[in-house]
Chain A
């Protein structure tokens, strides 16, 4: 009988305690963040969309090689002599035109492995996390600052230089060959006349 009344009393009393707790919570400010209008403070070492500061990029390809999912695509073209590409912020001289620097964020796994090898610290994580797209192709971000014509121009410049060099090389080689031929024409003649030459001996065998 005693437990019966005790149960009744405890039931009533504990409900009142619970109601006190919920009533207090009615006036506690909500923890809700009204997302699109109010953005939450992101942690310091957040890993979101990558950004490449092309002013500092030397086109060393180390980030692309570090990437575990191969989402970074880099193509570089050597500069031709006389072109000044400037220096990076930590004093490295740039020697390559970066004509392609695509990061495919559909593939990117946000592991941050590309950030550490960069010698000029030009690739880093930003706080941008709202970049969803309707087309998967739109997630391929192109970071190159050159215009499309410029890229073609740089390639052409290099190819022309290469062709010029090649032509020069061929010309030089030809010249060399000619010179050689001219130089060799004379000493070859007396050779058979030289009986003391051991090489000739072997050949004749």
Chain B
């Protein structure tokens, strides 16, 4: 474990804890946000037969760094009619919500912020802070479009929490654990042990589980997509309707906080999907470290497997963004309540019956 290793290295519990808690932010979230923004721009550009940023560095690889410097230099504007305290608190809350989720995400068997037993419930609970942040931002901005966006965001996230939780419940019921570490360890060895292919179960049970797992994976992916307000579920931000919704009035670093929170959230939900259905940090076909006998290589391999799985799902989110147009509010609600929730209930029921076998 990272904490134990740092504790033995520094000899100080506080220092070790401090470093472990800051590592996801500085080693992962910030570089990821930098990379993901560039990736988003390049992917969207190429999907539209454009080139995207090309001038800053080779094929524009330094573009986001330049953007960050621009955001850092910007004046911190607070409009006069806003509720100052809430206005300043909202981006922090949104960012804390998405940052805290990284505490339990298993980057590798060696590096998890805290190995608590309630991992998945912690993620679901703490990302609720993001909704509070968004609603707070919309309310404090004192701007009708921001408030509309925030209201839509709240309604959408609360609705889509239900299918997400039902699918998570299915997985919990099947595996009997809430810890993301245990979930990942359970799907070890080869890819046919991943839960998308029925998990470590054997025989008829595994074959019966596969269609429900695939459907469950689709449902949880769709509903988490809605929770992070990405297209086609981006009606809270809807540039063309709401002038980008709840963060219209924000500028400079506060805007950057929302931005960072959005991208951190994108990865967090992708990580959840990866852990629940795609084996978390486990390699699909054994480890090079085991083959060569280099034990130190395994955590690094696990980390790269985990990040590549997460990045793949982030890529699919971007891919969907340029494929699907935005939902209307009624379509959004109908999709959740008439399709996702009944289906996830059926999955919960049938998987429960199958797991009794």
Contacts and interface: CB of A to CB of B under 8 A. Distances in A.
B319 A30 contact: no
A79 to B, nearest CB: 55
B43 A26 contact: yes
A21 B323 contact: yes
A32 B50 contact: yes
Interface string A1-35: 00000011001100100110111011111111010
A11 to B, nearest CB: 8
Nearest to B338: A4
18 contacts: A7-B339, A11-B339, A15-B320, A15-B323, A18-B324, A19-B319, A19-B323, A22-B322, A25-B47, A25-B48, A26-B43, A26-B46, A26-B47, A30-B50, A30-B51, A31-B50, A32-B51, A34-B54
B349 interface: no
B72 interface: no
A23 B319 contact: yes
Nearest to A33: B51
Contacts of B54: 34
Contact of B49 (A11, A12, A21, A30): A30
Contacts of B45: 30
Interface string B17-61: 000000000000000000000000001011111110010000000
B218 interface: yes
Contacts of A22: 47, 319, 322-323
B275 to A, nearest CB: 24
Contacts of A25: 46-49
A26 B52 CA distance: 12
Report the contact-size class of chain A (Cβ under 8 Å from the partner): 10 to 19
Contacts of B322: 22
Given A22-B323, A31-B50, 18 more contacts: A8-B339, A12-B218, A15-B323, A19-B320, A19-B323, A21-B323, A22-B47, A23-B319, A25-B47, A25-B48, A26-B46, A26-B47, A29-B49, A30-B45, A30-B50, A30-B51, A32-B49, A34-B54
A12 B340 CA distance: 12
Contacts of B47: 22, 25-26
The list of the 5 closest CB pairs from A to B, nearest first, reads A18-B323, A32-B51, A30-B51, A22-B323, A22-B47
Interface string B215-232: 000100000000000000
Interface string B264-285: 0000000000000000000000
A53 B51 CA distance: 41
A201 B265 CA distance: 124
Contacts of B51: 30, 32, 34
A49 to B, nearest CB: 27
A21 B319 CA distance: 10
B153 to A, nearest CB: 23
